[in-house]
């Protein structure tokens, strides 16, 4: 039902342009349960250059990570000229929350989700909570965090590493915003001031990250980004946990969607 995708993409992009004056360059698709090649094709036709995805079968992630192929140009199988390729970043770990995005060890990464500080509404299920960053612990905490970042960097070919800071239902109050920003700002200041750590770190947007990767590709002739073709179905996040029930569930609502979309399209043609 690609026409539903086209309608929603058109409506969303038009709203952004009319209300914010922004034309998106990067797609953010962390929660669809699998990915069709139609979506990156439509995004490319809409002017986007990049796409980030998350929910891909864990074994596919494992194979791609082994050869550092988690960033790739997503090619349409019929497009031998690669005119519609889009640069795609696949998140390597189990989920998109902070415990599963800073590195391969969620028990460690959870200690850097400052929305889970003691007394907050969330906690770390691995038992060790975050600590507020102070002058006395910043060196130790920065070293622990960088160790995770470096492990994650080994799964990618670019010298840039993307570390999302978020989760469902987060960043919705000033308390968490202050806790996350102020503690990370102290970590960043320490890391950037110690050149022997060989790391430059800052807050940024998804498009800024992709721009840095594109720059790497253009300037480093030894950097080869692979090309992949096909889809990423069916999604599984662990052994025998296949997310395929939604293919056939709620048929009444799916039929209603198709009927409504057909009526809207007919009205657009007539008027």
| Per-residue model confidence as pLDDT tens digits over 200-213 | 999 999 999 999 99
User: Whole-angstrom Cα distance, residue 110 to residue 117?
Assistant: 10
Q: Which of 31, 67, 140, 231 does the annotation list as catalytic?
A: 31
3-state SS class at 34:
coil
231 is catalytic: no
> What confidence tens digit (pLDDT) does each residue in 105-141 have?
999 999 999 999 999 999 999 999 999 999 999 999 9
Average pLDDT of the residues in 45-72: 97
Helices (H), 21-109: 38-45, 58-66, 106-109
What is the structure's pLDDT at 130?
A: 97
What is the structure's pLDDT at 127?
A: 92
Using CA atoms, how far residue 18 sits from 14, 149, 171, in Å, is 6, 38, 25
User: DSSP for 177-196?
Assistant: HHHHHHHHHHHHHHHHH-GG
CB 230 within 8 A of CB 41: no
More confident residue, 2 or 173: 173
Q: For CA atoms 103, 109, 115, 121, give the dihedral sign.
A: positive
> What confidence tens digit (pLDDT) does each residue in 78-109 have?
999 999 999 999 999 999 999 999 999 999 99
Q: What angle do CA 229, 79, 65 make, to 5 degrees?
A: 20
50: phi then psi, degrees, rounded to nearest 5: -140, 160
**The model scores a pTM over 0.75:** yes
From the list 126, 105, 124, the residue with the least C-alpha distance to 116 is 124
What is the structure's pLDDT at 1?
A: 73
Average pLDDT of the residues in 232-256: 94
Cβ atoms within 10 Å of 101's Cβ, excluding its own:
26
Average pLDDT of the residues in 149-154: 98
């Amino acid at each position: 039902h690609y026409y539903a995708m086209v309608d929603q993409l058109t409506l969303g992009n038009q709203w952004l342009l009319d209300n914010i004056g922004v034309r998106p360059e990067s797609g953010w698709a962390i929660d669809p349960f699998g990915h069709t090649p139609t979506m990156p094709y439509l995004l490319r036709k809409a002017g986007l250059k990049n796409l980030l995805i998350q929910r891909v079968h864990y074994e596919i992630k494992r194979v791609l990570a082994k050869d550092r192929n988690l960033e790739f140009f997503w090619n349409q199988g019929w497009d031998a000229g690669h005119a519609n390729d889009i640069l795609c970043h696949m998140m390597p770990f189990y989920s998109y929350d902070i415990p599963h995005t800073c590195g391969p060890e969620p028990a460690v990464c959870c200690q850097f989700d400052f929305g889970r500080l003691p007394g907050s509404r969330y906690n770390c299920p691995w038992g060790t909570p975050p600590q507020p960053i102070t002058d006395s612990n910043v060196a130790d905490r920065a070293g622990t965090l960088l160790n995770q970042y470096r492990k994650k960097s080994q799964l990618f070919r670019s010298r840039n590493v993307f570390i999302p800071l978020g989760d469902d239902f987060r960043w919705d109050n000033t308390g968490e915003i202050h806790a996350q920003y102020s503690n990370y700002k102290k970590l960043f200041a320490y890391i950037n001031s110690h050149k022997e750590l060989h790391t430059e770190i800052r807050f940024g947007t998804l498009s800024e990250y992709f721009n840095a990767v594109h720059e790497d590709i253009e300037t480093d002739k030894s950097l080869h980004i692979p090309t992949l073709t096909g889809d990423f179905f069916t999604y599984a996040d662990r052994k025998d946990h296949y997310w395929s029930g939604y293919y056939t569930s709620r048929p009444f609502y799916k039929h209603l969607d198709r009927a409504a979309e057909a009526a809207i399209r007919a009205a657009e043609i007539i008027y």
